[in-house]
Structure 1
Amino acid sequence: MSTYNTANRPDFVRQQYAFAAHIRDPERNPCPDGIEDRRMKIYRELFYNNVEDFIANTFPVLRQIMPDARWHTMIRDYFAHHLSHTPLFPEMPREFLKYLEHERKPQPDDPPFLLELAHYEWVELALSLLDEKIDATKMDVDGDLLEGVPVISPLAWPLSYRFPVHRIGPAFQPKEADDKPTHLIVYRDTGFDVRFIEINPVTARLLQLLSGDDPVPGRMALQQIAAELNHPQPDAVIQGGIEILQNLRKCHVILGKR
């Protein structure tokens, strides 16, 4: 944790910093003068337990597969050393993800999928809280997705992982990444439930072409995919693509055409 120069601060400010430092990392920062340890114990446990419980609930699979000692060592290290840049409690899981990605030193007994699993679990919370307004007047919900430009919902996130993160749990913990990436769409439905669909590489590429800076009509995107695959029957790719587009519209991943 960063140190603060409080030498020239008023006494009450120095006391506040000492109080906070002890709560975050009691092994390295002594109990502030004049405060009984049994009283500080209440604060130590209250603050840590609140943080640990919130992170455990946001990353339930990660918590489930990590032994207690390893889990609490990781959370205590995060609690002691990570400096959050937001006062918002719901942003804490994103701060924890930043800690895993940029600050925490990987440990020999870490599962190889730790970062990807944490990201996948964070996405569920992020989508559930995402405040995104959808202007239905700017699209035709029943329009032709082949000839028109499909509109991808901002509440649908196409994701690719090296590990099949949606299947990981106590009974399935792969030691190595798959030869091919796992493609998923994680989305929030009209009932505000977050769901996922596992998709194939063609669908993943289709969504990429439809959601780029210069999106194209469905037919053009499918023609490009057929060319990239060097497919002997481009019309077959287009016919299969029509079904994909319609299924994505039923799930509200595609909202209509522009």
Structure 2
Amino acid sequence: MTAARPLETTTAATDPAYTADEMMTIAAARALRGDQRCFVGIGLPSTAANLARTTHAPDLVLVYESGTLGSKPDRLPASIGDGILAETADAVISVPEVFNYWLQPGRIDIGFLGAAQLDRFGNINTTVIGDYADPKVRLPGAGGAPEIAASCGEVFVVVRQSRRSFVDRVDFVTSFGHGRGCGERAALGLRGAGPTLVITDLGVMRPAADGELILVATHPGITVEQVREATGWDLRVADDCTVTEPPTVQELSALRALQAAS
């Protein structure tokens, strides 16, 4: 269910052939606005954020953990240490300053993260698969993601969907989402709203009032049942669940140009 797949085309002028990954990335980019400050994770989040900046949101301020503020790369950075982030930034500050003066005081609107595992309440695992003391797989770890999840105004998550990645309960809570729901973030005194949007290669989810993720949109050619089959819990579906607008020629061209330059 997670492999990139060609989707049916309807109108060649506005709906050319595209892959599931391209649909996911473009849907994620559309969620960003030009008046926002976005703390960007490397990988899928960085691709989506840079696509937004080069298309409909040229004033979007991209902040990377390495201390670059307002980076404007013309290709996708390979890591937070990629020199192009510093070379194209409005300012470069120290890592402690990024967290102490920008993130923790609430000056970042959107935290854009990926995940290895995500559960029904938006908790993220990037630490281990299996028992922490004796894991099946040891993952890259937390980095700055726990602070991003705790302090950004909102958190957007972009991740490919399968039963391995969308689980009822994560093996390890690296980055706190909505806990077990029912106001746990507020009880812990966390500043940010937590995950408010999850974009996958199958559709889009948002948290309900109790903090549990529900399906609010499917991508073109994807059924609700396909999304449910790729989810490790009994996924709820919004009454007004919609279908995502397919990519435009302009969006696809911009995305492919970014990827080709990298």
The answer, yes or no, to whether TM exceeds 0.5 is: no
State the TM-score, normalizing by the size of structure 1.
0.24
- Normalised to the residue count of structure 2, the TM-score between the two structures is 0.24
Q: Which has the higher strand share?
A: 2
